[in-house]
Structure 1
């Protein structure tokens, strides 16, 4: 079999710069999720097991989305890499908003 090695199109500093800028936005989503978890745990009803699971998911999801977007886009052109990172960020933000909406309307997450 003929294996074709894919060459890197971008210098390392550009990859780091794009990933760093988007990483700050991903970190904001994670930080907002941690703040939401702390707010719900310290609320009047607390959280049950399902509530912990639901509120930990938006903390883990942006980290996984960042890793997947980085793996998909790191060896592409700058625009394509930025779009991959933006797509992952958009999914992370939409997932966070879905959890906020679900937590607002579902009382099955609260109480011990």
Structure 2
């Protein structure tokens, strides 16, 4: 009978703390996207169907990116978990900047 080496797991509060800290940054992206959506929808031109879909994507995408990053990393070592969350945050931030640039330069989104 051989003894199996026990695998040390980190406390749950450490995982929750790291996820919550990164979650604040993801929440900031969502909040900024909601703010832009409200400003553009209440603006003088309003939004058409394409405008609504383009402005709703950055509201949804950071939440999906956080979920995917959390799902990929929560069983990995703490450093890898933080790096995966940081990579997800980077992808969500790049997506936000791309949507922002498109919203500024495309007049096809407005006038609904």
In the superposition, relative to structure 1, how do residues 28 and 51 fare at CA in structure 2: closer, same or farther (>3 Å)?
same
In the superposition, relative to structure 1, how do residues 53 and 75 fare at CA in structure 2: closer, same or farther (>3 Å)?
same
Report runs of 4+ in structure 1 exceeding 4 Å deviation. Answer: none
Q: Please identify the structure whose Cα radius of gyration is greater.
A: 2
Counterpart in the other structure of 1:26 = 26
Counterpart in the other structure of 2:63 = 63
Counterpart in the other structure of 1:4 = none
Question: Normalising to structure 2: TM-score of the pair?
Answer: 0.91
Deviation at 1:8, TM superposition (A): 7.3
Superposed counterparts of 1:10-89, under 5 Å:
10-89=10-89
Deviation at 1:11, TM superposition (A): 1.8
The question of 1:98 aligning with 2:98 is answered yes
Question: Normalising to structure 1: TM-score of the pair?
Answer: 0.91
RMSD: 1.1
Q: Deviations over 1:6-35 (max 9, x none)?
A: x67422111100001000110000000000
- The whole-number CA distance in structure 2 between the counterparts of 1:83 and 1:108 is 37
* Runs of 5+ unmatched residues, structure 2: 1-6
In the superposition, relative to structure 1, how do residues 78 and 88 fare at CA in structure 2: closer, same or farther (>3 Å)?
same
* Runs of 5+ unmatched residues, structure 1: 1-6
